[in-house]
Amino acid sequence: MTAIIHQFAVGADNLGVLIHDPATGATASIDAGDEAPILAALGHKGWRLTDILVTHHHSDHIAALSSLKARFSARVVAPRADLHRIPDVNMAVGEGDHFKVGSFDFVTMETPGHTSGHVSFYSADQKLLFAGDTLFSLGCGRLFEGNASQMWTSLSRLAGLPDDTKLYCGHEYTLSNAKFAIKHDPDNSALRARISEAEALRAKGAFTLPSTIGREKETNPFLRAAEPALAASVGLTGHAPVEVFAALREAKNKS
Ligand code: ZN
Ligand code: FE
């Protein structure tokens, strides 16, 4: 059985995602930033919410958590490290913890950097990764609570998943990320192709997500910090990838 995924806009630039198991009727929302669009999406699909999978504590990811949980008696799965700042958690998870949404198995990966407690959810069977604000298409999350070394480790682990893993994330930032990416990796033809595709998708109101891990490895500057071209772009030829990553993240903050 294959998971049915429905993606929709939440607020200005957050991406909502519902995962549905037709065999059991189970439906999970990845994060819960705003109630109205999530209710609308559930109504549109005729699905009933059973689970909410929380990636991290930022309000654009949890503001509607309590109200949605109360409305549907949904189970809330959230990072154990953030129990003091995420309400209404039923199941606290950390690295390697498995859980099911209907018949689909997910494993928790701790991916700190954007926040200290950030987790990503991966289903090997379904080839699905929900990376929250850790990995975006052509970008990565800002380092609010973690350091560059933590984030580089987190991103490297996500990059180690199979190339055909579908990447879903918390925000539609691809085109704004593209400006920075092409400046630092101008000779990358895969990146040029991805930007053209993303422009066409956005022009017709479509999302640029999901991406794939394979595609991000070819195009995302933050996953390409070990490439000589990216090191050269920040004046760090010959330096360790983590140093190149840190410099790229700094440069992006200032861009
Ligand atoms: Zn965030
Ligand atoms: Fe966010």
Can you give the residue range of the structural domain that contains 52?
1-93
Q: Has 61 been annotated as catalytic?
A: yes
C-alpha 180 – ligand 1 centre gap (Å): 20
Q: Count structural domains, the chain.
A: 2
Which ligand has the nearest atom to the CA of 171?
2
Same domain as 87, residue 31: yes
In a domain, 98, yes or no: no
171 assigned to active site: yes
Residue 9 lies in a domain: yes
Residue 219 resides in a domain:
yes
The pLDDT confidence band at residue 11, using thresholds 50, 70 and 90, is confident
Is 187 annotated in the active site?
no
Q: Are residues 77 and 143 in the same domain?
A: no
Known catalytic membership, residue 57: no
Check whether the bond before 210 is cis (ω within 30° of 0). Answer: yes
Q: Which residues pair with 229 in a beta bridge?
A: none
Could you give the C-alpha distances from 40 to 26, 76, 191, in angstroms and in order? Answer: 17, 20, 34
Q: How far is the CA of 224 from the centre of ligand 2 (A)?
A: 23
pLDDT in tens, 193-203: 999 999 999 99
Contact 43, 168 (CB under 8 A): no
What is this structure's pTM? 0.97
As a whole number, mean pLDDT of residues 155-179 equals 98
Asked if residue 231 and residue 188 are part of one domain, the reply reads yes
Per the annotation, the verdict on 133 as an active-site residue is yes
Whether residue 56 lies in the annotated active site: yes
In this structure, the answer to whether residues 171 and 122 fall within a common structural domain is yes
Catalytic residue among 20, 58, 118, 184: 58
Instruction: Give residue 255's pLDDT band: very low, low, confident or very high (50, 70, 90).
Output: confident
